Chain A
Amino acid sequence: MRAWKEEHPSRRAVGAFPVYVPTELIQAAGALPIWLYGGGGSVEISHADSRIQSFVCSISRSTLELGLRGHLDVLDGLVFPSICDVARNLSGVWARNFPRMFVEFLHLPQNRRSPSAVPYTIAEYRRLLAGLERLCGKPVAPEDLRAAIHAHNENREAAWALLDARRRTPWATDAWETYAFLRAGAVLERETHTSLLRQALAAARERGRRPKDKVPVILLGAFCEQPPLDLIRAVEEAGCYILEDDLLLGSRWFRTSIPDGADPLRALAEAYVASSPPSSVSHYRGTPKQDLLPQRCRQLGASGVVFLTAKFCEPALYDQVLYKERLESAQIPYVHIEFEEKMSAVDTVRTQIETFVESVLFE
């Protein structure tokens, strides 16, 4: 990041807190969007303790800690979307503690059934864009936005190609590997990241690995705070093929391309309202997601579900109960694990997953 700043002294870098932020707007304004995913267990919480209570998730605490220690000084701005009360209030704490930074809270529409959701979202995106224009010191033309949408479309397409390949042939690529490739995009220009993803896909195809006797599962619950890489590995090593997951969900939020036509801002807003994936942080527009899950398991041929939820993450913990209920009535096995960024008990989790795998295999 610092190297990028040195190479591009005149450009701005703007952070995006998970889960979803229309980073197209940041890119269109000429800044580099950076996804923040917390401290990943590498940072000791000390400064943040005096400003945020201990009963909130690690990502909020460690992000604030990174900020207070000056590790995020490279950022000129930071956008918090409306995902939960913790992240929302963190935006306020941030605004006060970093008065020189451009801090924006983006209220994404929760009532996506209302016909008024689209005009509202357009207005909200305009508001964010106006702030970004002030920060970057230039107006954003429709072609800037079209170019950014195009770059994001290609990037999402490459990400999905990799994820789809893993779903079809999970033995060819490990989930922790695809995760690492996607995660690299957090600090890269879209275009650079897209070519990295394409190379990864090509390499996976050439690998020629053979299928193993593992249990195919869906992994859910880690849409915001990210589990330690070791934990994802542990799930796989304990005998699971992860067909689908919601890791880094925001970076690949849309499944299909956003039209970069005459009114790109409207297209971006419409996509959010109509085509957002099921997620614990946005109210469903059609069928509740817990009702979709058993169906999805059958479609994919998943034998079970592994819930990885961040400790203290309320949106995930509430949904977990409803998911669980539906899975039980559909007789689909599941296992629930809570994690924290700093997690030492990976071995215990491995044993838990092994037990789960055995129970599925011997059913």
Chain B
Amino acid sequence: MSDEDAGKALQKRLLGEYYQSLGDAGRSGQKVAYLFVPGNVVELLRCFDMLPVYPEINALQCGIKKMAGDLILRAENIGYSSDVCGYVKNDIGLMLSDRQSPFGPLPKPDLLVCNYSGCNTFVKWFEALAHFYGAELFVLDIPYLRERGPSTADIEYVVAQLEELADVCARTSGVPFDRERLKRVTSLSYAAEKLWVDVLHAARSRPSPFDAYFEAVFYMAPLNILRGTEGCVEYYRLLLEELVSRQKEGRGPVPEEKFRVVVEGPPPWPHFRSFWELFKRWGVCAVASTYSKVGGLFDQGVFHDPAQPMESIARYAMNSYTNWNLGLRLDLLRQYLREYEADALIIHSVKSCRSFSVGQADFRDVLAKEEGVPTLMVESDLADPRYYSEAQLKNRIDAFFESLAHRRLVGG
């Protein structure tokens, strides 16, 4: 088996086992906690043998499997507005359909851990689930990064809440809190995070051995779902090996890398493949993306730390991409454009996620008008297939790369 196949096979097996455990939760009696990807505290939950379920990931899977449209309509039928987040409606739709996901049945929550990091809708989302399921809800308040870094008061606040959450988990699961175990779990997270950063940095080479947007969103799945396990570390070890060998052979995601871009914003899951094709045909390779940082800005030096597990969880939680203020986000885009020697910035603005999208037009303004970075901003949605207009997107994308190609030709 080649490295490539080995990595893929392992991911398939690990995720398969994960979904199997979700299907078995009713029988195994394992307690189920729902939580969000950004700033999640899965390390803590693992210490109580709780099964993590990520409604955002379920929603994106439904998007890819073309189930989202129907589920969203089901939620709209019970009163959800057409103007609110499609992920939430997808999840409510799943609830109304007995939680039959593309990967089999999902368990009901025993505990809702609302790690409120970077998105206010998270609170409204889990308030709704608490309402419908009658499950206990713990809102873990993660202060927005309104200055350059977290203050001592911020960290103390989050750590105090983590201790309270640990009590809730112990009560729910019947498993006592073992701090040594937390150290072991965080050290496994750290090992995987380090390897992931090496993966991301591989995109610095020319050509990049992988697409840091369209492929990275799949590569990051184990980090979001399986962080804190041995299998997760092993997966990134294999992935890195594979990318290094691709690098040596000069292989990348497109036959010839013509344009290197940085991408801001989540992908349109229900039309993922066709959206990617619109770029591939121009020989475009994403070399960095912000969406791959929603689960953590490890490449900015934020890691879990077994020497200070609780503090590092707090720091990690404050440093998810959408929890950064817009000034920091803009600086990060500038950094990526430089560090990865990108030719342009692509902004995919999605209606569902205001946390991501409000402010992007201002980024475009600064970068394109004041700093001369070729920038393309297109709109659709991450969940709702109704907002994707292929013809319009194709026109915009073609016109943009045509003019970039032309500029290059005339040496502009």
Interface residues of B in 127-186 (CB under 8 A from A): 127-128, 130-131, 139-141, 143-144, 146, 151, 153-154, 156-157, 160-161, 164
Q: A96 to B131, Cβ gap below 8 A?
A: no
Interface residues of A, dominant DSSP? helix
Bound Cα distance A90, B362 (Å): 10
A203 within 8 A of B: no
Residue in B80, B139, B358 whose beta carbon sits within 8 Å of that of A283 in the complex: B139
- Over the window 53-69 of chain A, the binary record of Cβ atoms lying under 8 Å from chain B Cβ atoms (1 yes, 0 no) is 10110001000000000
Q: A120 to B153, Cβ gap below 8 A?
A: yes
Interface size class of chain A, counting residues whose CB lies under 8 Å from the partner chain: 35 or more
Known contacts A105-B144, A283-B123; A314 and B358 CB within 8 A of each other: no
Q: B130 to A288, Cβ gap below 8 A?
A: yes
> What residue of chain A has the Cβ atom nearest to residue B81's Cβ?
A317
Known contacts A288-B127, A290-B131; A318 and B84 CB within 8 A of each other: yes
> What residue of chain B has the Cβ atom nearest to residue A84's Cβ?
B120
A180 within 8 A of B: no
- Over the window 95-110 of chain A, the binary record of Cβ atoms lying under 8 Å from chain B Cβ atoms (1 yes, 0 no) is 1110000001101011
Instruction: Give chain A residues whose Cβ lies under 8 Å from the Cβ of B125.
Output: 318
A116 within 8 A of B: yes
Bound Cα distance A318, B88 (Å): 10
Interface size class of chain B, counting residues whose CB lies under 8 Å from the partner chain: 35 or more
Interface residues of A in 310-361 (CB under 8 A from B): 311-312, 314-315, 317-322, 324-325, 338
Instruction: Give chain A residues whose Cβ lies under 8 Å from the Cβ of B146.
Output: 104-105, 107
A147 within 8 A of B: no
Interface residues of A in 225-240 (CB under 8 A from B): none
Known contacts A107-B144, A288-B131, A322-B127; A312 and B83 CB within 8 A of each other: yes
Instruction: Give chain A residues whose Cβ lies under 8 Å from the Cβ of B358.
Output: 52-53, 56, 60, 85-86, 89-90, 93
A92 within 8 A of B: yes
> What residue of chain B has the Cβ atom nearest to residue A48's Cβ?
B361
Known contacts A52-B358, A96-B326; A315 and B157 CB within 8 A of each other: no
- Over the window 156-188 of chain A, the binary record of Cβ atoms lying under 8 Å from chain B Cβ atoms (1 yes, 0 no) is 000000000000000000000000000000000
Q: B354 to A318, Cβ gap below 8 A?
A: no
Q: B362 to A111, Cβ gap below 8 A?
A: no
B69 within 8 A of A: no
B247 within 8 A of A: no
B124 within 8 A of A: yes
Q: B124 to A92, Cβ gap below 8 A?
A: no
A88 within 8 A of B: yes
Instruction: Give chain B residues whose Cβ lies under 8 Å from the Cβ of A111.
Output: 139-141, 161
B327 within 8 A of A: yes
B61 within 8 A of A: no
A127 within 8 A of B: yes
- Over the window 65-88 of chain A, the binary record of Cβ atoms lying under 8 Å from chain B Cβ atoms (1 yes, 0 no) is 000000000000000001111101
> What residue of chain B has the Cβ atom nearest to residue A95's Cβ?
B327
Q: Distance (Å) between the CB of B343 and the closest chain A CB?
A: 23
Q: A95 to B326, Cβ gap below 8 A?
A: yes
Q: A50 to B365, Cβ gap below 8 A?
A: yes
Q: Distance (Å) between the CB of B137 and the closest chain A CB?
A: 9
Residue in B128, B164, B366 whose beta carbon sits within 8 Å of that of A96 in the complex: B366
Instruction: Give chain A residues whose Cβ lies under 8 Å from the Cβ of B326.
Output: 89, 92-93, 95-96
Q: A110 to B361, Cβ gap below 8 A?
A: no
Residue in B83, B84, B156 whose beta carbon sits within 8 Å of that of A119 in the complex: B156
> What residue of chain A has the Cβ atom nearest to residue B118's Cβ?
A85
Q: A318 to B127, Cβ gap below 8 A?
A: yes
B359 within 8 A of A: yes
Instruction: Give chain B residues whose Cβ lies under 8 Å from the Cβ of A124.
Output: 143, 153
A296 within 8 A of B: no
Bound Cα distance A92, B354 (Å): 13
Instruction: Give chain A residues whose Cβ lies under 8 Å from the Cβ of B160.
Output: 114-116
Best-buried of A92, A105, A320, A338 by chain B (most CB within 10 Å):
A92
Q: B164 to A114, Cβ gap below 8 A?
A: yes
Q: Distance (Å) between the CB of A8 and the closest chain B CB?
A: 30
Known contacts A95-B327, A324-B79; A110 and B116 CB within 8 A of each other: yes
Residue in B325, B349, B359 whose beta carbon sits within 8 Å of that of A105 in the complex: B325
Q: Distance (Å) between the CB of A43 and the closest chain B CB?
A: 18
Known contacts A93-B359, A124-B153, A311-B83; A319 and B365 CB within 8 A of each other: no
Best-buried of B116, B146, B379 by chain A (most CB within 10 Å):
B146
Bound Cα distance A114, B365 (Å): 41
Bound Cα distance A53, B362 (Å): 10
Q: Distance (Å) between the CB of A325 and the closest chain B CB?
A: 8
Known contacts A53-B357, A92-B327, A114-B164; A283 and B153 CB within 8 A of each other: no
Q: B143 to A107, Cβ gap below 8 A?
A: yes
B85 within 8 A of A: yes
Q: Distance (Å) between the CB of A295 and the closest chain B CB?
A: 16
Best-buried of A127, A312, A318 by chain B (most CB within 10 Å):
A318
B121 within 8 A of A: yes
Q: Distance (Å) between the CB of A249 and the closest chain B CB?
A: 17
Instruction: Give chain B residues whose Cβ lies under 8 Å from the Cβ of A83.
Output: 120
Instruction: Give chain B residues whose Cβ lies under 8 Å from the Cβ of A90.
Output: 358-359
B410 within 8 A of A: no
Q: Distance (Å) between the CB of A9 and the closest chain B CB?
A: 31
> What residue of chain B has the Cβ atom nearest to residue A93's Cβ?
B362
Q: B351 to A55, Cβ gap below 8 A?
A: yes
Q: A82 to B144, Cβ gap below 8 A?
A: yes
Q: List 25 A-B contacts (CB under 8 A).
A: A51-B362, A52-B359, A53-B351, A60-B358, A88-B144, A89-B359, A92-B325, A105-B144, A107-B146, A111-B139, A114-B157, A116-B160, A119-B156, A120-B154, A120-B157, A283-B139, A288-B130, A290-B131, A314-B83, A317-B81, A318-B80, A318-B88, A318-B124, A319-B124, A320-B79
Across the A-B interface, give the 7 residue pairs with the lowest CB-CB distance, nearest first.
A92-B326, A123-B153, A116-B160, A120-B157, A89-B358, A318-B124, A111-B141
A120-B156, A314-B85, A318-B127 given; name 12 further pairs at CB < 8 Å.
A51-B362, A53-B351, A85-B121, A88-B144, A89-B355, A107-B146, A110-B139, A116-B164, A123-B151, A317-B80, A318-B84, A322-B127
